[in-house]
Chains A and B, each alone.
Chain A
């Protein structure tokens, strides 16, 4: 066995142990440990990715000394390693961009607790990406939920505590359904390892026995994870949680936490049930319908918002809708489009949150539209970054959002019933996206009219916040890379999905 094969396991363990370690360190040291951990794990993921691309096949890593049907294992392919690397990059940049907000908004003496949560969150995300065991996945889903709740409520005010409570309630409903679905599947197949379950499910599907329990179990798991990742009717907690938590939390929550659950759902589709069986079941129609409703309703809500951060949060609801619509198409192209959209949305949404905070910094910390007038002149880099993010969200060519919309449209074409609804929903959603994002861009580039005073508005040069400026530049570059050279990324996702099953 090559040494590189240990890296996925080591990265999970490293982030897991750095959590408790941070709880006894001072805030400053906890921050250093956290940064080091993210960088080291990013490097290890890159090494793993290189190794798996070289060998061209996924490998299984046995945890402990028990072989397949009994022991626990992790399974690493191209898609997993690439996701781990990507998550590390986004997390690093989000932490970098929100460095000053964290120091201002989190109570002195509680700083290190924040890093405990971030480390545990990273650990659970990595475990969700790599694990090959369904019950382990459930346990790490719960760890993910708890640490995300901590990230929301670390900034103590009424809004965040209420949002954290709502988030917990919704998440617990989702994990209850997920757990029940897993129990059903375990009873039907007698296994907990994903590959073994798939074998048994294949036999069940071929003989046609236990058809209804199988579909029920698939439905429970899909709905559970959909609730947890804030698909449209279950999004009530989201605007407050993203709108009022500290900047790094909002960026991490919107770009990573919900994506972790979605990645697990893809895993269940491909590795546990088998995508042919999922495609034949009616569950994907439900996901498709709710995805489309979410695309429209999320954007409509965003148009009504007067608070820039809540607007970005509602835009997340719409984007999650896109992803589920891609699953709902029931074809491999649809799933590839969804995964690409996951990547593109993560990169863009965290960019938007960091840029929006740069704009509000220049407007006396007020997130209201009126006060943001001309903010792009007061903080030029944030203005440019926000424009890039907006154009990407709307789907301008050159930026990453364009490619994902193109992929969705291509996946839909040729579909017997779903082609028309998908294309219409895409068109409406693009127009709605354009309305609220362009409204904001125009607003921040309108010079302050004579007679109007922005209270505490001041010019913020990029020099004053070097960390945020660096994060913004990296995000813009990342977005352009994803938009301009999408071919390798799409190839990678395609190869990864082939290895995934």
Chain B
């Protein structure tokens, strides 16, 4: 039975796998750019999950067309709204991370965070 559940909800399963990939990239990669890519995969996976949860089979996006106002015609609009908010947050966070990366690269000419740390320790300031 459980196996069937997983198959029926394959979208959610994919979202969780993507979340894991993004999370471990953000945590484990040494290269800052790869970390940022991991961050974006992680956030996007969450949005995929939310969007899937708000979707109802056979219904349309909640935009009133041809005067149809019945609730039965549309999918749940709240998750879509949450995804939009989330995208705004992740864009600004990504921009901030990229600008930090540029700063570090200009100073140390490397993208490897661990190397930067060892160099800072050697400077001993």
Q: Quick one: closest A residue to B86, CB to CB?
A: A179
Also in contact, A153 and B49, with CB within 8 A (given A161-B107, A162-B116): no
B100/A135 in contact, CB under 8 A: no
- Please measure, in the bound complex, the distance between the C-alpha atom of A448 and the C-alpha atom of B120, giving whole angstroms: 31
B96/A149 in contact, CB under 8 A: yes
What 1/0 flags go to B47-68 for Cβ under 8 Å of A?
Answer: 0011001000000000000000
Contacting residue for B78 out of A158, A180, A192, CB 8 A = A192
- Please measure, in the bound complex, the distance between the C-alpha atom of A179 and the C-alpha atom of B125, giving whole angstroms: 37
- Please measure, in the bound complex, the distance between the C-alpha atom of A291 and the C-alpha atom of B120, giving whole angstroms: 30
A183 interfacial contact with B, CB 8 Å: yes
B26/A173 in contact, CB under 8 A: yes
Q: How far is the CB of B108 from chain A (nearest CB, A)?
A: 7
Contacting residue for B46 out of A135, A159, A169, A179, CB 8 A = A179
Q: For residues 156 through 192 of chain A, which have their beta carbon under 8 Å from a beta carbon of chain B?
A: 157-159, 161-162, 164-166, 168-169, 172-173, 176-177, 179-180, 183, 186-187, 192
A169/B35 in contact, CB under 8 A: yes
Q: Chain A contacts of B123 at CB under 8 A?
A: 158
B120/A168 in contact, CB under 8 A: no
Also in contact, A176 and B93, with CB within 8 A (given A135-B82, A162-B104, A162-B116): no
Q: How far is the CB of B23 from chain A (nearest CB, A)?
A: 6
Contacting residue for B23 out of A149, A164, A173, CB 8 A = A173
A332 interfacial contact with B, CB 8 Å: no
Q: Chain B contacts of A168 at CB under 8 A?
A: 93, 96-97, 100
A289 interfacial contact with B, CB 8 Å: no
Q: How far is the CB of B22 from chain A (nearest CB, A)?
A: 8
Q: How far is the CB of A254 from chain B (nearest CB, A)?
A: 21
Q: Quick one: closest B residue to A150, CB to CB?
A: B96
Q: How many residues on the B side are at the interface (Cβ–Cβ under 8 A)?
A: 36
B117 interfacial contact with A, CB 8 Å: yes
A172/B46 in contact, CB under 8 A: no
- Please measure, in the bound complex, the distance between the C-alpha atom of A153 and the C-alpha atom of B35, giving whole angstroms: 20
Q: How far is the CB of A92 from chain B (nearest CB, A)?
A: 27
Also in contact, A158 and B107, with CB within 8 A (given A142-B93, A166-B113, A183-B53): yes
Q: Chain B contacts of A164 at CB under 8 A?
A: 100
Interface centre among A173, A177, A183 (most CB of B within 10 A): A183
Q: Chain A contacts of B39 at CB under 8 A?
A: 172, 176
Q: For residues 96 through 142 of chain A, which have their beta carbon under 8 Å from a beta carbon of chain B?
A: 135, 138-139, 142
A16 interfacial contact with B, CB 8 Å: no
B120/A159 in contact, CB under 8 A: yes
- Please measure, in the bound complex, the distance between the C-alpha atom of A135 and the C-alpha atom of B32, giving whole angstroms: 28
B80 interfacial contact with A, CB 8 Å: no
Q: For residues 92 through 116 of chain B, which have their beta carbon under 8 Å from a beta carbon of chain A?
A: 92-93, 96-97, 100-101, 103-104, 107-108, 113, 116
Also in contact, A176 and B113, with CB within 8 A (given A161-B100, A192-B78): no
B120/A183 in contact, CB under 8 A: no
A165/B85 in contact, CB under 8 A: no
Q: Quick one: closest A residue to B100, CB to CB?
A: A165
Contacting residue for B108 out of A158, A179, A186, A187, CB 8 A = A158
A454 interfacial contact with B, CB 8 Å: no
Could you write out 11 A-B pairs with CB less than 8 Å apart? A138-B89, A139-B85, A146-B92, A153-B103, A158-B123, A164-B100, A165-B113, A172-B93, A180-B46, A183-B53, A186-B50
Q: Give chain B's interface residues, CB within 8 Å of chain A.
A: 19, 22-23, 26-27, 32, 35, 39, 42-43, 46, 49-50, 53, 78-79, 82, 85-86, 89, 92-93, 96-97, 100-101, 103-104, 107-108, 113, 116-117, 120, 123, 125
